Amino acid sequence: MNLKIKNALISVFDKESIPSLLRCLKKHNIKIISSGGTYKSIKKLGYDCIELSRYTGFKEMLDGRVKTLHPKIHAGILHDRKNRIHRGEMSKQNFPSIDLIVVNFYPFQKVVTGTKNSNEIIENIDIGGPTMVRAAAKNFKNVTIITNKNDYSSLIAELEKNNGRTSLKFREIMSSKAFGLTAYYDAMIANWFNSKLNIQFPERKTIFGRKLKSLRYGENPHQKSSIYINDYEDKKLGFIQIHGKELSYNNFNDIFSSLDILESIKGKAATVIIKHANPCGISEHKDPIESFRNAYACDPISAFGGVIACNYKISKKIAQEISKNFLEVILSKGFDKESLKILKKKKNLRIIDISKFKPKNIMSFKVFDGSFLIQNKNKVILDKNKIRCVTKLKPNKKELAEIKFAFNVTKYVKSNAIVLCSNFSTIGIGAGQPSRLDSCKLAIQKAKQFQPGKIRNSVAASDAFFPFEDGVHALIKAGIKIIVQPGGSIRDQEVINLANKAKIKMLFTGVRHFNH
């Protein structure tokens, strides 16, 4: 049913775009109620407006904390126009109907990102605005609620089309948006309190998110998808695409995986190559181009159509190496002019600058149907208090550094994970096999296929213990000289005996790195 709008209440912190709305309201003889800065802006623009305190007969108090929280306002919003008793009570009180609410909130979100002053943040928790929004959204059969300046044009079109009226469908759509906003707003506030109080797992958890954009499709063409940002800075992702096709669902999934790994490698130039959310090549080296070459050499077949992330600036020389291969996405901390000229020749290659990207290291979520799992990020690599060499032969300082590198990589490989490394570069990765022995065989097979000369004396890292001798036996037979694993199996001693017999080095970390 189309309802005529006679009275509107406007209370907006963001006053952009209100002139076009005011022109439309005046055209359709809609009276305006407002207060504070919004009232002053409306009067300055030359439009008639009733000040809120004059309308209610009650002067705002407590530094503006109480102004719209008044029976004349909320009865005007909430009463059912078809209910005889409601109409009688409104008539007795001489309370007019309020048919349109235009509200946006105090900038809690903006303030949180700009200050750590708790008092200032709390003062920017809006009370009156969300209360009016919820009231109007509940009573959408009788009231139109607008909470986003981007919807002003839709409201204007609706009023023009219906001669100052709004349709039930329009009001219901705006109500849905309004409840989405109040839920989002409250979730941000709740999460701020949880963060402030270091409550990682509250009794009730609300995940807030702002839609950044719709994606072409999901993992497969028959699936729909969008990307949302779960952060107070919810207008951008923190990295900039400067060339190429739009990013897909699978691109984003691989990008996030690559950035997670890249952030864990400090000090040297690092290159990460991802395919289907699994690393297929990782290398750190003092020379960026060697880092790239070593990472790519690990598994060049799997790298085809993959995502490459680098923690260094791409030069002309590196760009020439990259352009020899087919890749979906290249992420780097900057690109020089010559490199961009080379890379942009591939019109579909997504080129992304991550020089200003700062990881938040927030919680990790897995969602299924009506439930979800939450855990904090796995940031442990090696615990110095837990790591111990269990064989007669002990690693030297350089070998310990490589052990750390290899074991770190296992954190990001789907379990069961076996990672073979040589000179701070992966040379074989066995990922996602239900059997740890199969992961060992796969890692060895990859290394033999692409870098057979580097297997001897290499390091093997396992994300969990070896339940049997078979996996260790396969690694020893391939030429591995150092094995790092968490330990903890009832057959640990059998594995240690095998390592001693083969005269290799084995370390127990006491830390498991499952990644499912």
**Are 504 and 481 a contacting pair, CB within 8 Å?**
yes
Closest CA to 307 of 261, 342, 344, 361: 261
Query: Which is catalytic among the residues 26, 40, 138, 316?
Result: 138
Q: Is the peptide bond before 416 cis (omega within 30 degrees of 0)?
A: yes
In the block, tokens 């790519």 appear at 296
Non-local (6+) Cβ contacts of 451 within 8 A are 297, 298, 422, 427, 428
DSSP annotation string for 324-359: TS-EEEEEES-B-HHHHHHHTTSTT-EEEE-TT---
- pLDDT given at position 242: 95
Is 138 among the residues known to form the active site? yes
* H/E run at residue 212: strand 210-215
Could you state, in chain order, the average pLDDT of each consecutive group of 10 residues for the chain (516 residues)? Answer: 89 87 92 89 90 81 72 87 85 89 87 87 86 93 94 93 93 95 93 91 90 94 94 88 94 94 92 94 96 95 95 95 92 95 94 91 83 88 85 94 95 95 96 94 96 95 95 96 95 95 96 90
Q: Hey, which bits of 247-312 come out as E strands?
A: 269-275, 278-285, 306-310
Residue 516 pLDDT: 87
Predicted confidence at residue 407, as pLDDT, reads 96
Which residues lie below 8 Å from residue 512, measured CB to CB, with a gap of 6+? 463, 464, 465, 486, 488
Q: What angle do CA 435, 436, 442 make, to 5 degrees?
A: 95
Catalytic one of 15, 177, 276, 317: 276
Distances in Å between the alpha carbon of 132 and those of 8, 35, 104, 105, 243?
Answer: 12, 14, 10, 11, 44
The reported pTM is 0.86
DSSP letters along 7-34, please? EEEEE-S--TTHHHHHHHHHHTT-EEEE
Q: Give the distance, in angstroms, between the CA of residue 14 and the centroid of all CA atoms in the same chain.
A: 26
Please check whether residue 278 is in contact with residue 413, taking contact to mean a CB–CB distance below 8 angstroms. Answer: yes
- Residue showing tokens 């002067």: 59
DSSP 414: P
- What is the per-residue pLDDT for 61? 65
Which domains occur in the chain, in start order? 3-196 (3.40.50.1380), 239-353 (3.40.140.20), 388-508 (3.40.140.20)
Q: Please tell me the distance from the alpha carbon of residue 510 to that of residue 341, in angstroms, as a whole number.
A: 49
Cα-Cα-Cα-Cα torsion 398, 403, 408, 409, nearest 10 degrees, comes to 100
Shortest CA distance to 290 belongs to which of 266, 267, 317? 317
Asked whether the beta carbons of 288 and 312 are under 8 A apart, the reply is yes
